[in-house]
Structure 1
Amino acid sequence: MGAKEKPNSIGQPVPELPVADVERAQQHYRDALGFKIGWLYSDKEIGAVSRENVAIFFRRRKPPFEPTVHWVFAEDVDASFQELTSLGANIVDPLERKPWGLRQFTVEDLDGNLFYFHHD
């Protein structure tokens, strides 16, 4: 690419998480994480949720499967922690400053997928 050429714009990646039951995952993300249910294919093999500019796809897998890990930057990690706690999210690691310098907490979903919410 030349010095004056600008790269094409690409969108934000959309993770596809393995889940045992797509509808159950959608309902959990709605109720415990504040997402909106987007769509569900008629065979219930794949569906989606969204929250602001974040979308997540779910695909039904037969357990056991490898859960996924996602790092989520939170502009106000204290407010995010309070909100998700009040919604009943499964906080498996409380909000604290980690030895690597980030203030961070961890949420685990019904299928073992992990979300590390963090701020510098």
Structure 2
Amino acid sequence: MSKLPVLKNISPMIPAGSDVEKSIAFYEQQLGFRTIHQEGNPITMAVVKRDSAEIFLLRNDDQHLAEGTTFRIQVDNIEQLYQEFQAKNGQIIHPNDELQTKPWGMKEFAVIDVAGVCITFYEPDN
């Protein structure tokens, strides 16, 4: 009997702007990720990870591409994560998207990274 395929975590490849080192610093210092891989000198690609969330940061000078990129990360204990980010630097939380329960039943908030990418952290509101 064959097993059905199971999709696991998603690893987005996102534009990191022209200074990947600056993006790496943001993900490590502000969002609590750690760098698990990097390539190039200067760096052209890096992989950052926190728990099961893995993000590929790619050097890309197109500001419009970065500002048009958005993705979502599901979180357990979102209130604690929100407090962690506020304690580090409340400025990273998008002023129009602070922690709230949305009509579609998700507690969520968003941050904008140094390249302009929007990341929404969410947790089902049970």
Unaligned runs of 5+ in 1: none
For residues 17-70 of structure 1, what are the alpha-carbon distances to aligned partners after superposition, in whole Å with 9 as ceiling and x for unaligned? Answer: 101111110011001000112222123111111112222111101123423211
Shift of 1:10: 5.5
1:78 and 2:79 are equivalent in the alignment? yes
Off by >6 Å, runs of 4+ in structure 1: none
Please report the RMSD computed on the Cα atoms of aligned residues, expressed in angstroms: 1.8
Decide which structure has the larger Cα Rg and report it. Answer: 1
Distance 1:62 1:85 in 2: 29
User: Retained in 2: the 8 A contact 1:18–1:65?
Assistant: no
How many residues get paired?
117
**Which structure features the higher share of strand residues?**
1
Structure with the higher fraction of residues in helix conformation: 2
In structure 1, C-alpha distance between the alignment counterparts of 2:38 and 2:56, rounded to whole Å? 10
Identity %: 26
Quote the Cα distance in structure 2 between the aligned partners of 1:97 and 1:8.
32
Structure 1, residues 49-94: CA drift from partner, whole Å, max 9, x if none?
1112222111101123423211111111111111121122610011
Amino acid at match of 2:93: I
The normalised TM-score by structure 2 is: 0.82
